[in-house]
Amino acid sequence: MAQFDRITFDSAVMGGKPCLRGQRVTVGTILGLLAAGRTRDEILKAYPYLEPEDID
């Protein structure tokens, strides 16, 4: 099984949904933004505490 160091699961954060580095940003949120056509730069501007590698 592949290991994803940036994706964390914690029942105390966002109801246990997969999040990026323990922050309150879910993987689903980022995937939804990408699916809607948002660029990496737009996402990083909206969520300045994320790193480019979080989106990659």
Domain ranges of the chain: 7-55
User: Could you say which residues of the chain have pLDDT below 70?
Assistant: 1-2
Six token digits for residue 12: 């105390």
d(CA 46, CA 10) in angstroms, rounded, equals 23
Options 1.10.10.10, 1.10.3720.10, 3.40.50.720, 2.60.40.10; which CATH number does 7-55 get?
1.10.10.10
Q: Which long-range contacts (CB under 8 A, 24 or more apart) does 41-49 make?
A: 49/23
d(CA 42, CA 3) in angstroms, rounded, equals 27
**3-state DSSP call for residue 7?**
strand
| 30, amino acid identity | I
pLDDT at residue 35 in the model: 98
pLDDT at residue 3 in the model: 72
